Amino acid sequence: MIRTMLYATDLGLHSPYVLQHALALARTFSAELHVVHVVEPMGLFAESVLQIYLAEEVLTELHSEGVNTVIEGIELRVLAGFRDELGEDNPDMGLIRSVRVVQGDPSTVIIEQTHQLKVDLLVVGSHSRIIEGAMPIGRTAARVLQLSQVPVYMVPMLQSHAGKRVSA
């Protein structure tokens, strides 16, 4: 029985398409839908540049308060984006129980969220961008498939086959 679902989004171009799948499944199963977006930590290069230009106290404050402020802002923008996409009065908005923005390694955070939320189904897109000659599944999606202990519903993105774009 599917009662709780997690939709992991990269907020990319195809996110609204994957959201529609997640909402359709949530409607079908009368399930709660949680949404997670993972923000990768600042890279070593960016961190070292900040250390050069900012005092240690400022850098510490930036890490503690700045990151939380940015994450809260992203959560609000994600919810606003859903309202714009679906319409303010759309009953599907009621299916979305939470929107979380978490900093970390995407596949690790997604798997951790499936455990914390005790979800019965995980919904992901196959990848965020189409790159000619690239694998049909992205790095994060592949890793999530390898590590997930719950069923994964993967939404395929548009693929290039023999020079033609087709919907998979």
- Amino acid letter, 137: I
pTM exceeding the 0.95 threshold for the entire prediction:
no
Residue 88's pLDDT band, with cuts at 50, 70 and 90, is: confident
Residue 54: its pLDDT value, please? 73
Whether the per-residue pLDDT at 135 is higher than 70: the answer is no
Cα–Cα distance, 38 to 11 (Å, whole number): 10
Looking at residue 47, what is its pLDDT? 67
Q: What element of type H or E holds 6?
A: strand 4-9
Q: What is the pLDDT of residues 42-79, one digit of tens each?
A: 666 666 776 777 777 877 777 666 677 878 888 888 88
Classify residue 3 by its DSSP letter: -
Q: What is the mean pLDDT of residues 78-96?
A: 89
Nearest to 157 by CA among 16, 25, 44: 16
The per-residue pLDDT for 98 is: 94
Please report, for the chain, the start and end positions of each structural domain, with discontinuous segments joined by +: 4-166
Q: Is 98 helix (H, G, I), strand (E, B) or coil?
A: strand
How does DSSP classify residue 151? -
| pLDDT given at position 42 | 66
Please give the residue that has the higher pLDDT: either 75 or 157: 75
According to the model, what pLDDT value does residue 129 have? 56
Q: Kindly tell me the number of DSSP H helices and DSSP E strands found in the chain.
A: 6, 7
pLDDT for the residue 168:
37
Does the pLDDT of residue 164 top 60, yes or no? Answer: no
pLDDT of residue 18: 94
Q: What is the CATH number of domain 4-166?
A: 3.40.50.620
